Chains A and B, each alone.
Chain A
Amino acid sequence: MPERAEVRKKAEAARQKPGKFGPDIELSEYTLEAPAYEPRPLAEIDLVDRERLLSAGVDVSGEGRSGSFIQVDKSVIHASPTQEGIEVTSTRAALETYDWLEEYLWQVVSVDADKYTASAELNFQDGYFIRALPGARTVFPVQACLYLKEADISQNVHNIIIAEEGSELHIITGCATDSPELRGLHVGISEFYVKKNAKISFSMIHNWAPKISVRPRSGIRVEEGGVFLNNFICLHPVETLQLFPAAFLVGEGATARFNSVMMAPEGSHMDVGSKAVLSAPGTRCEMIARSITTGGEVINRGLLIGEVAGVKAHLECRGMILKGGGRIYAIPELDGKVEGVDMSHEAAVGKIARDEVEYLMARGLSEDEAVATIVRGFMNVDIEGLPPVLAEQIEQAIELSQQSLL
């Protein structure tokens, strides 16, 4: 049986398979139908709410970016790189261009993992292909936007990101909806390949809406000396969000770092974590999660698996329950399979400490200002290795979310 058919068969078999984590979603309640939009230059894009995209880190002007990709529902309306050595196109177009690309599909994410991966295969609606050629380094980040516009839409995308040997790729992905009232489902498969001595920084900012369900499925393969930095920011309401990207550190000295900053208002359910399998000597992984609830539910997972001696990994998970209550459930897990692994974790869930508030008040800050300062500090995960423009963007997203907090 040809390989393609085998993949389809596996997907068919998993069509009804619930996800391992997160509330089950009935896919038949969503439609795959949406108007088709033609590709157009950035300057002519009027299909999207630019403000909502901006708060997800996507600047439709394309200024300060090494390339842009924008998909509305199932239509790719723009894909273009602006830097030599960087490729930005739709997955469909890339599959037509490169025969070899088939070999990158469903390699680090299983097509039959659950109904969502199956749906992404069976109802494939494009996605982005971003690649840095050997030795190429992005001056500015590439931006990619996945946007929901049609009511009750189910968006199913498959993204492939490749950093060839010795290259460096910074990507900012913004996800947003056309209106805060929109109901919909986003399923996004992302497969990352970090080749020898290459680096990818991937910052994903979610700006969904209270009736949106989100099921990203990501896998990352990091080769010798490669670095993968993942930043996930979700500071806006979402009905249910569940993601658990897995990094496979297969080459000697490969490194992965996951940072996540989340804020769950009432009605939001976020089940977010990451997994790393350290299977080569000298591999490193660090996971840092900061979550805040103002009434929503956050489940913070983290799983580190050490398979060979000489690996080092740490997992830190902190949660803060603010006024309005809510729940934070931290599940850090370590799985050391041989002698000589060095893995640790720390987790803490609490409220804003009174002595910290008073400390700042004694310096002249009002109680509200003191709380805001503490929260901002709490969410200020030091993200190393990001270009300043990206760090600024993340900082800005956090600042914006603060205004709605107090």
Chain B
Amino acid sequence: MLEIEDLTVSIEGNRLLTDINLRIEDGETRMLFGENGSGKTSLLMAIMGLGDYQVESGRIRFKGEDITGLTPDERARRGIGIMFQRPPTIRGLKVKDMLEIIQRNGKDAEELAAQVNFTEFLERDINAGFSGGEIKRAELLQLMAQDPDLVLLDEPESGVDLVNLDVVGNAIGRLLQRDVHRGRSKSGLIITHSGYILDYVEADKGCVLVNETIWCTGNPHEIMKGIREHGYEECLTCQRELK
């Protein structure tokens, strides 16, 4: 689904990611761990082609196609969807209208909203005055309408209260077809700092981003346990370096 080869990314001359290599298979859900400021969000932004992120070298391939030079909308139309951590408010654009604009495969806004307890927000301007948890649900709702093949989630659990963690976790599970045993085709790359999302979303693999690059890959629970016990520094000496 996604192949990243030797990707080096900078912003205004400052290097953020160096020689990133990452491969996500069809139907695979991958957790990406890393400290705050380690470049996790930058990686997602670079995959989506957003912001002023400059790809200095390397390639991003999606479904076999080199998308490194494509605009965000071209990537979205090819089937990549992203959850923003701090999305902007768009005045006058109602959640319901946004869903209608972006929906693929004839998804019904009301039906989707009911799945994430968001029906009462359909008439609200997108992200206007939303709490942290509401933002997450609004983002997930849009992704559900978009129905992408590769889902990029940036800390989906942050700011979500306990009551809604379940709702968010289930929605992510459905987005990534975690309830499907055979023929799962949707892939995901999920950033997590706290790791709480692991209690709600079963991931196939985990990897760690430290010092601008990816160091370690393996069982996500094991990695999380390792980080909790030994910190991220441990990853720098880990045997499972992904190179």
User: Are A and B subunits of one complex?
Assistant: yes
Q: Please state if A358 and B50 are interface contacts (CB–CB under 8 Å).
A: yes
Which 4 A-B pairs rank lowest in CB-CB distance, beginning with the nearest? A377-B92, A380-B92, A377-B93, A364-B76
Question: A376 touching B92 by the CB < 8 A rule?
Answer: yes
- Assess whether B91 is in contact with A377, with CB atoms less than 8 Å apart: yes
Is B142 touching A363 in the complex (CB atoms < 8 A)?
yes
Contact present for B90 and A374 (CB under 8 Å) = yes
A51 interfacial by beta-carbon distance below 8 Å: no
Interface of chain B, helix or strand or loop or mixed?
mixed
Q: Give, as a whole number of angstroms, the nearest-CB distance from B121 to chain A.
A: 15
- Report the bound CA distance from A378 to B56 in whole Å: 37
- Which residue of the partner chain A has the closest CB to B50? A358
Q: Tell me which of A365, A378, A381 has the highest count of chain B C-beta atoms within 10 A of its own C-beta.
A: A365
Contact A361 B146 (CB under 8 A): no
Q: Is the CB of A363 within 8 A of B76?
A: yes
Report which of B48, B90, B98 forms a contact with A362, defined as CB distance below 8 A. B48
Q: DSSP class of A's interface residues: helix, strand, loop or mixed?
A: helix
Known: A363-B76, A364-B102. A378 touches B92 (CB 8 A): yes
Q: How far is the CA of A377 from the CA of B71 in the complex (A)?
A: 23
Interface set of B (CB-CB < 8 Å, partner A): 48, 50-51, 71-73, 75-77, 81-82, 84, 87-88, 90-93, 98, 101-102, 125, 142, 146
Q: How large is the interface on A (under 10, 10 to 19, 20 to 34, 35 or more residues)?
A: 20 to 34
A399: interface (CB < 8 Å): no
- A377→B98 CA distance, assembly (Å): 11
Interface contact B88-A362, CB-CB below 8 Å: no
- Least CB separation from A354: chain B residue: B51
Is B77's CB under 8 angstroms from A364's CB?
yes
With contacts A362-B82, A363-B98 known, what are 7 further pairs, Cβ within 8 A?
A: A358-B51, A359-B84, A363-B101, A365-B102, A367-B71, A373-B90, A380-B92
User: Which positions 343-381 of chain A face chain B at CB distance < 8 Å?
Assistant: 353, 355-356, 358-367, 370, 373-374, 376-381
The reply to whether B88 and A353 contact each other, CB–CB distance below 8 Å, is yes
By the criterion CB–CB under 8 Å, are A356 and B90 in contact?
A: yes
> Given the complex of chains A and B, what is the CA–CA distance between A374 and B82 in angstroms?
19
Alpha-carbon separation in the docked complex, A379 to B93 (Å): 10
A355 to B127, CA, bound (A): 13
A375 to nearest B CB, angstroms? 9
A 369-406 contacts with B by CB, 8 A? 370, 373-374, 376-382
Contact yes or no, A379 B71, CB < 8 A: no
Contact of B146 among A353, A363, A370, A377 (CB under 8 A): A363
Contacts of A360 in B (CB 8 A): 90
A373's contact among B72, B93, B142, by CB below 8 Å, is which? B93
Whether the Cβ atoms of A359 and B92 lie closer than 8 Å is: no
Inter-chain contacts of B71 with A (CB < 8 A):
361, 367
With A377-B93, A377-B125 known as contacts, the answer to whether A366 contacts B88 (CB < 8 A) is no
Q: How far is the CA of A374 from the CA of B81 in the complex (A)?
A: 20
With a cutoff of 8 Å between Cβ atoms, the chain B residues found around residue A377 in the complex are: 90-93, 125
